[in-house]
């Protein structure tokens, strides 16, 4: 995908706010695939070994578990970054993510991320950890509402 387009996407997404202009430009220059999905199509499959991180640039997505598949764990909106657990935790995908209506994502390769220079890698991982912490918060809230 073209550099300028990727950069424009990155600039519109809160996740990249903490990065300097140079860092953002560098991240946008990395190999990055733009993929489109139809309604219900799987973007991530629970159990898969891939480590890529995704940025939802258009549309929405749903997070589920294989069992029972009808329970939606969370909904992702345009601008969401996901797939961080496999990269940070070095483990197979813990949930599935499927397009909720037509959706477009940018896929950042996990190995490419791991090869970033240590300073940028740390910054990137810190942002992913914040993301993880926010998810914990949201899930806590969700669970409290369920069991109340």
Partner 1 sequence: MADDDILKLLKGITIFKVLTPGELKALAKMKTVLIKYDADEAIIQQGDIDLRLFVLLKGKAVVNKNENPGRILATLKPGDVFGEVSFISQSPRTANVIARKPVYALRMDGDTFDALDLAIQNKIRAELIKLLVLRLNNLNDSIVMSEAMLSYLRYNT
Query: For partner 1, which is the closer residue by CB, 33 or 66?
Result: 66
Question: Distance of CA 100 to CAs 39, 43, 60, Å?
Answer: 5, 10, 5
Q: 107: which residues sit within 8 A by CB, 6+ positions away?
A: 32, 33, 34, 35, 52, 53, 54
CB 38 within 8 A of CB 69: no
Least distance from partner 1 to the Cβ atom of residue 93, Å: 11
* Alpha-carbon dihedral sign for residues 69, 71, 77, 83: negative
d(CA 131, CA 82): 9
Which residues have C-beta within 8 Å of that of residue 68, sequence separation ≥ 6?
none
Is 71 near partner 1 (CB under 8 A)? yes
Binding mask 72-91 vs partner 1 (x if CB under 8 A, - otherwise)?
-x-----------x--xxxx
* Cβ at position 40, least distance to partner 1 in Å: 19
Q: Which stretch binds partner 1 (CB under 8 A): 22-30, 54-62, 63-71, 101-109?
A: 63-71
Residue 121, interface with partner 1 (CB under 8 A)? Answer: no
Does 67 bind partner 1 (CB under 8 A)? Our answer is: yes
49 binds partner 1, rule: CB under 8 A: no
- Which residues contact partner 1 (rule: CB under 8 A)? 65, 67-68, 70-71, 73, 85, 88-91, 94-95, 126-127, 129-130, 132-137, 139-140, 142-144, 146-147
């Amino acid at each position: 995908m073209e550099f300028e387009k990727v950069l424009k996407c990155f600039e519109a997404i809160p996740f990249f706010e903490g990065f300097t202009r140079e860092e953002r430009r560098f991240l946008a220059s990395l190999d990055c695939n733009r993929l489109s999905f139809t309604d219900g199509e799987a973007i991530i499959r629970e159990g898969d070994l891939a480590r890529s991180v995704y940025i939802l640039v258009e549309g929405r997505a749903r997070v589920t578990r294989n069992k029972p598949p009808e329970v939606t764990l969370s909904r992702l909106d345009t601008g969401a970054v996901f797939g961080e657990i496999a990269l940070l935790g070095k483990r197979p995908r813990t949930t599935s993510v499927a397009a909720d209506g037509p959706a477009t994502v940018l896929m950042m390769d996990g190995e490419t991320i791991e090869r970033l220079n240590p300073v940028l890698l740390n910054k990137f991982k810190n942002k992913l950890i914040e993301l993880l912490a926010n998810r914990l918060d949201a899930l806590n809230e969700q669970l409290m509402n369920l069991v109340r």
